[in-house]
Amino acid sequence: MERHEHVVALTRVFDAPRERVFAAWIRAEHLSQWFGPKGFTIHSCEADARPGGVFRLCMRSPEGRDYWVRGQYLEIVAPERLVITCTADDENGIARLEETIRVTCEESGGRTTLAVNATASGPGAVAAGMLKGMDQGWAQTIDRLSIQVAEKR
């Protein structure tokens, strides 16, 4: 079966200190507010931000479908960078994609430059379909993050 891969690399500047931006990635109460594309909600979220600690959440689509993301934090250097590996399941709970998310935060003058590099791959047509939406999904997710960190003033 053919394996498909896609990489998303995004850089955004937030008018927020990097500690706040970084905390949004490592605390379940923050992740549950912004992670996922526009219209998605998080109804279950766990984050144990330490190497080997759990990263698990369920994104519910606007149509009511659940998509589980389960994995772990590989590397955490607060508030500079983190690496998360995870598996994304389809709406039937079948593992479809393996993803590595690399995040860096650099602060200058009270503003934070966030760089996200997400590499995902998986076999078959379902994985290929999920990968097609990855650029838009990550762009919308980071848009939601910008709202989350702006509201925390």
Q: How far apart are CA 135 and CA 42, in angstroms?
A: 20
Q: Give the total number of structural domains in the chain.
A: 1
Res. 65: pLDDT tops 70: yes
The CATH code of the domain that includes 135 is: 3.30.530.20
Please report the pLDDT score of residue 92 as a whole number: 87
- Quote the pLDDT of residue 128: 93
Q: What is the pLDDT of residue 91?
A: 79
Specify which residues 143 forms β-bridges with.
none
Q: Collapsing DSSP states into helix, strand and coil, what is residue 128?
A: helix
- In whole angstroms, what is the distance from residue 97 CA to residue 69 CA? 9
pLDDT of residue 123: 94
The average confidence (pLDDT) of the chain is 95
Percent share of the chain, pLDDT over 90: 91
Distance of CA 19 to the CA centre of its chain: 17
Least confident stretch, 46-50, 87-91, 116-120, 144-148? 87-91
Q: Which residues contact 79 (CB under 8 A, 6 or more apart)?
A: 18, 19, 21, 22, 23, 105
pTM metric for this prediction: 0.94
- Of the candidates 79, 55, 57, 80, the residue with the CA atom closest to the CA atom of residue 67: 57
Per-residue pLDDT, 76: 98
pLDDT band, very low/low/confident/very high, at 152 (cuts 50, 70, 90): low
62-66, 91-95, 124-128, range with the lowest pLDDT: 91-95
Give me the pLDDT at residue 62, please: 96
Full domain range(s) for residue 69:
3-150
